[in-house]
Structure 1
Amino acid sequence: MTDVVILGLGYVGLPLAQEAVRAGASVCGYDVNEAIVASLNACRSHVDDLADSDIAEMRAGGFTATTDEAHIASAATAVICVPTPLSEDGGPDLAAVKAATRTIARNLRPGMLVILESTTYPGTTDEVVRPLLESSGLRAGVDFHLAFSPERIDPGNEKFGPRNTPKVVGGHSAACADRAVEFYGRFVDTVVRTKGTREAEMAKLLENTYRHVNIALVNEMARFCNQLGIDLWDVIRAASSKPFGFQAFYPGPGVGGHCIPIDPNYLSHNVRSKLGYPFRFVELAQEINATMPEYVARRAQDILNDSGLAVSGSSILLLGVTYKPDIADQRESPAVPLARLLQGQGAKLSYHDPYVEHWNCFDGGVPRVDDLSSAIAEADLVILVQSHGVYDADRLAGQARRFFDTRGVTKGPDVYRL
């Protein structure tokens, strides 16, 4: 008997497997990607937060990865950690969730606990996952246990990981919740119980909608503060001195990653489709955040124009192309639409990123520079898109003809800031 099988071995499933193994659980990882399974079994990691040595430690603790769904039948708990990207109509694409659920249904046993961790709209666990599982002939809350527990993985976060980030859990029934709380309690410090699965599903969306809306607020402020000659970064620093009633959010060239640009749209789509009216805060925030790369491109054009240069034919170096600092993850990175906009205007683009060897953001890709100092000195404009820790922004700005800081990390006077 295996304690847990985790379906989906990416940024969510693999750290979860690591914590379970460390707690002494027997863990099997299931994935349909044969290359990922082979790599993990050979002790090679494909995610930022886990090194090859971490995978080797997991393997020594009994972890194994497989593409054979028969292993699911021998597990006490099955956790679904597959991706839910946006579909063409703006809602979540549940194809991977449905496929994983059908796989579990074919191997479901009485007494098994099934948990969905993939982010989605409220009602998915009960309206989509439960019927597929019950096609096995077993009933949720009677023959097997069913729960939802939203993933809260923050790639690259050195302070909070799966163990010390509180785990929200909502069960199909009280008994289902009890089983899920007991399961996570083995390797998570704090488990927070909700009234049901819908509350747990909504909690995740509220978290990221809160961030989405507040980032949009400062992004819009960045636009008019620039026109008014106000240093927004200094404004935020001053406002942050208040010990209550304020939380700092910062503007940037756009919002990236697998959560903030995507998750609030699940909720907006759900409200429109079920209730028939818009979630206006989310839709406005999406509009503002989605147009930030265009705003940065216009600012770049203005900076070059002030020196009598056109974007067309000018050499522009982009520093940092990942969606957040100090990781290699490029999902929904605002550097991609920014590069496409500048390339469309005829700019001679190049990039540097210590975590990205090849950047194919459009056909032909963007050439990578190896000699950073020379590239900065030669570029007509350097744009800091992502502030990786290895970048000494003030020093780099001092080497550049023109330096556009979209992250507010420079202090010198001869720098253009967002």
Structure 2
Amino acid sequence: MSRVLIVGAGGVSQVVVHKCAQVPEVFSEICLASRTLSKCERIAAQLDRPIRTAQVDADNVAEMVALIRDFKPDLVVNVALPYQDLHIMDACLETGVDYLDTANYEPIDEAKFEYKWQWAYQERFREKGLMALLGSGFDPGVTNVFCAHAQKHHFDEIHQLDIIDCNAGDHGKHFATNFNPEINIREVTARGRYWERGEWVETDPLAWSMSYDFPEGIGPKKCYLMYHEELESLVLNLKGIKRARFWMTFSDNYLKHLEVLGNVGMTRIDPVQYKGCEIVPLQFLKALLPDPASLGPDTKGRTCIGCLMKGVKDGREKQVYVYNICDHQDAYREVQSQAVSYTTGVPAMIGAMMMLTGKWRGEGVFNMEQFDPDPFMEKLNLHGLPWKEVIF
């Protein structure tokens, strides 16, 4: 029986709250907090059990500390913006509470995806006997656990890793993003980066592509090489890794809109002056685009996210593909969110469950692949994200 404070009230948070509420034997009391109280109250009204709601500015450490001391949670689940990670970690350190998030910290003025800022908290969390679990979403998150599962059960060494993320859904909009538009567009327009024989290799944004034939009727889709933060920890924690890449599918329509918006400066993250006011073009664009949380009723199709791994076992070459397929409409029927939010929110709940039940424990800052994958993989099957594996 544990108390959990969930910070943030967007599409992913909606899933996390629903899924935590479904497991009262672990999450006995829930508090949902956000800068906008009405968003918390809207989510709370969807549930079959009462939860507490609160208003908090996650950038304000003093406000976070006051809320934590008032509610007294056993764990803080951060599903707010990545810019706010360090402030929430500071509040957890000050109050002596464990921490979990789904995405690594990003400086607000630069699209830079690195764990160095959060890894720097290692000694501070360890000295206080606290645990911080980073990236407990799908990618990062489940993909890290898929790799740990394969390393434990299938390989002596994993030499090649390709994480392949396909959203084969359609929301019917001319242009919309399936999660926070600001974070999504910063990620997609950043330079590509992959690991090759002991060093990072950079590419121009979306300059590399391949076709991949996805299972269970989804079929061939064009995938683009990107940089994704889970690669940074995986290349440190996988035995024998020689090459690690991340791929994501995009429709031609999405890429054409993104190209035009970039050409006219709407994806810039530096401030510009307009009629005496300072605005950030990408933040203004975010205000114009559909809220990802509103896309659920109209989104149809499936996602497929998995890890294709090649390596050796007992001296023989081996290839394993571990993946999940999630249906947008099934997700909406259960938690009133589309599958992109669902595939991030469910693993956040499971990661919290691992910590609160003692299945995963440690002192310091950890990435997902550093723990035993078996209990997490078991819970994926029980809580809405069943996985399959193909051995070649």
TM over 0.5: no
Larger radius of gyration: 1
Structure with bigger RCO (C-alpha 8 Å, 6+ apart): 2
Compute the TM-score of the two structures, normalised by the length of structure 1.
Answer: 0.36
More strand by share: 2
